[in-house]
């Protein structure tokens, strides 16, 4: 079999590429996907009791009109529910609104003073050189107090690597940095300074979780253009063909891979072993999702919250989403049930015992008072994503700079959350647009703007 455009992986990136090819009038393309479903990490599952789960709480913050238009088309304008993105940190037995640094007044007085002392110290004596890593960056931006209370333990729980091994230049708009005047004003005037509000909304599918979006996009792209249960085991760049696990092969003129970059480099026959090993140096963490379906109603304190962050060690998870709030149809009967979805990271530096995780998660939900002994658990669901977060490690960019051009020289374009390995452009909108921009580059020569080596 031969196609003009071959796309490996039918997650948001692969679907974005295929959608754009079709949009530009190109019909000669094919998607190969190893899973039985399309959507990649942006997939949803219905458990045996009828509760829906995402692979972690998926929220869309779109940066692109093209993406928004496709989202409208995918589910129709009525296929969505809109929410204010209300997020909180659970710490010291209380909820603190996010961003933490602007709301330290919620903490016990000794902790408020500890945080303030740290900010005063860095204001008086700023670091005179560029921070060497994420640990130094947090210390220099937030001060030692906020670092010890929240930033360091929370970030280790999310990233699953020591913060000294992480870079910080990727942060950009993602973290609201600290401003002494603002923090003091909030403390003294007892003012809330939150990240949500009328302009801070997100939308979520009414039915079928995040996966419903990508199923719909898959249909728009064409079921006849997608082969599921189809694992690529080798890429022969010279011959422009890929080998599949069933022994068959597909020839192509142009190739986009959205599988993890380290795996992709490993599959290309023409890539030297030393470079394959270099690609193997890219760090990543796995994500463990535990969903808990409950009979009853969330306690009043939880009702308005979308998701919560957990920096402390009394629970394995770093984040919990009140998933029944995202859509009443995420549970079989919203009048009598609700659901909590937890995320726990894992890496060689932060191992997780999969046998005990469910039990530890339920204890953690009790320790953090999200559920009480009275709440009746009616369903649990677990999912392990081996590749969950592409780690922005210190060596990441240098490895990408070595590996990516070598692949592109062979005509292998690698894009997407793990295809490009850049966490800062790895959400659904970025990933979809990386695919779209690859198609634009292929057909029209337009330079890509979301992914840059």
Ligand X SMILES: Cc1cc2nc3c(=O)[nH]c(=O)nc-3n(C[C@H](O)[C@H](O)[C@H](O)COP(=O)(O)OP(=O)(O)OC[C@H]3O[C@@H](n4cnc5c(N)ncnc54)[C@H](O)[C@@H]3O)c2cc1C
Q: Nearest approach, Cβ of 163 to ligand X (angstroms)?
A: 20
| CB-nearer residue toward ligand X: 19 or 418 | 418
| CB-nearer residue toward ligand X: 361 or 427 | 427
The alpha carbon of residue 206 and the mean position of all alpha carbons in its chain are separated, in whole angstroms, by 21
Kindly list the residues in this chain that would bind ligand X in the complex (CB under 6 A).
8-14, 32-35, 40-42, 55-60, 231-232, 258-259, 287, 343, 385, 388, 416-419, 426-429, 431
Per DSSP bridges, beta strands 232-236 and 226-227 are unpaired
Q: Nearest approach, Cβ of 9 to ligand X (angstroms)?
A: 2
Contact yes or no for 210/54 (Cβ under 8 A):
yes
133: left (phi > 0), else alpha (psi -120 to 50), else beta?
Answer: beta
| CB-nearer residue toward ligand X: 56 or 316 | 56
| CB-nearer residue toward ligand X: 53 or 137 | 53
| CB-nearer residue toward ligand X: 25 or 36 | 36
Q: Cα–Cα distance between 163 and 183 in angstroms, integer?
A: 24
For residue 318, which of 346, 351, 348 has the smallest C-alpha distance?
A: 346
- Label each residue of the chain as H, E or C: CEEEEEEECCCHHHHHHHHHHHHCCCCCEEEECCCCCCCCCCCEEECCCCCEEECCCCCCCCCCHHHHHHHHHHHCHHHEEEEECCEEEEECCEEEECCHHHCHHHCCHHHHHHHHHHHHHHHHCCCCCCCCCHHHHHHHHHHHHHHHHHHHHHHHHHHCCCHHHECCCCCHHHCCCCCHHHHHHHHHCCCCCCCCCCCCEEEEECCCCCHHHHHHHHHHHCHHHEECCCCEEEEECCCCEEEECCCCEEEEEEEEECCCHHHHHHHECCCCHHHHHHHCCCCEEEEEEEEEEEECCCCCCCCCCCEEECCCCCCCCCEEEEHHHHCHHHCCCCCCEEEEEEEEEEECCECCCCCCHHHHHHHHHHHCCCCCCCCEEEEEEEEEEEEEEECCECCHHHHHHHHHHHHHHCCEEECCCCCCCCHHHCCHHHHHHHHHHHHHHHHHCCCCCCCCC
| CB-nearer residue toward ligand X: 12 or 209 | 12
| CB-nearer residue toward ligand X: 105 or 396 | 396
| CB-nearer residue toward ligand X: 32 or 412 | 32
Q: Nearest approach, Cβ of 339 to ligand X (angstroms)?
A: 16
Q: Nearest approach, Cβ of 290 to ligand X (angstroms)?
A: 12
| CB-nearer residue toward ligand X: 87 or 368 | 87
| CB-nearer residue toward ligand X: 95 or 383 | 383
| CB-nearer residue toward ligand X: 55 or 187 | 55
């Amino acid at each position: 079999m031969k196609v003009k455009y071959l796309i490996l992986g039918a997650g948001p990136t692969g679907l974005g590429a295929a959608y754009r090819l079709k949009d530009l009038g190109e019909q000669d393309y094919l998607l190969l996907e190893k899973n039985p479903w399309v959507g990649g990490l942006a997939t949803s599952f219905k458990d045996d009791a009828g509760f829906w789960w995402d692979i972690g709480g998926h929220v869309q913050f779109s940066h692109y009109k093209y993406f928004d238009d496709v989202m409208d088309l995918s589910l129709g304008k009525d296929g969505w529910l809109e929410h204010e993105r209300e997020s909180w940190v659970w710490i010291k037995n209380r909820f603190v609104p996010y961003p933490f640094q602007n709301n330290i007044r919620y903490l016990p007085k000794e902790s408020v003073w500890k945080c303030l002392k740290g900010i005063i110290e860095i204001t008086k004596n700023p670091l005179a050189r560029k921070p060497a890593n994420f640990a130094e960056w947090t210390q220099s931006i937030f001060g030692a107090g906020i670092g010890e209370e929240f930033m360091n333990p929370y970030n280790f729980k999310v990233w699953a690597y020591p913060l000294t091994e992480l870079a910080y230049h990727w942060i950009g708009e993602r973290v609201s940095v600290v401003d002494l005047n603002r923090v003091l004003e909030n403390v003294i005037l007892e003012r809330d300074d939150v990240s949500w509000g009328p302009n801070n909304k997100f939308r979520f599918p009414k039915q079928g979780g995040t996966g419903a979006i990508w199923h719909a996009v898959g249909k728009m792209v064409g079921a006849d253009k997608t082969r599921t249960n189809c694992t690529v085991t080798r890429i022969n760049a010279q011959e422009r063909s890929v080998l599949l696990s069933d022994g068959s092969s597909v020839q192509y003129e142009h190739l986009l891979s959205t599988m993890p970059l380290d795996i992709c480099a490993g599959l290309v026959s023409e890539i030297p072993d030393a470079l394959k090993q270099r690609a193997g140096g890219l760090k990543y963490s796995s994500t463990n999702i535990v969903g808990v379906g409950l009979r009853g109603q969330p306690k009043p304190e939880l009702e308005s919250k979308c998701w919560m962050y957990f920096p402390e060690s009394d629970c394995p998870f770093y984040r919990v989403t009140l998933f029944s709030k995202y859509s009443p149809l995420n549970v079989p009967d919203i009048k009598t049930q609700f659901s909590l979805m937890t995320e726990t990271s894992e890496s060689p530096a932060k191992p997780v015992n999969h046998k005990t995780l469910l039990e530890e998660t339920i204890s953690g939900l009790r320790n953090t008072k999200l559920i009480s002994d009275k709440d009746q658990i009616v369903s649990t669901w677990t999912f392990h994503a081996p590749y969950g977060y592409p780690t922005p490690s210190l060596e990441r960019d240098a490895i990408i700079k070595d590996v990516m051009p070598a692949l592109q020289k062979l005509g292998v374009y690698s894009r997407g959350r793990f295809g490009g390995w850049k966490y800062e452009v790895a959400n659904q909108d970025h990933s979809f647009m990386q695919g779209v921009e690859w198609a634009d580059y292929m057909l029209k020569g337009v330079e890509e703007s979301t992914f840059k080596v």
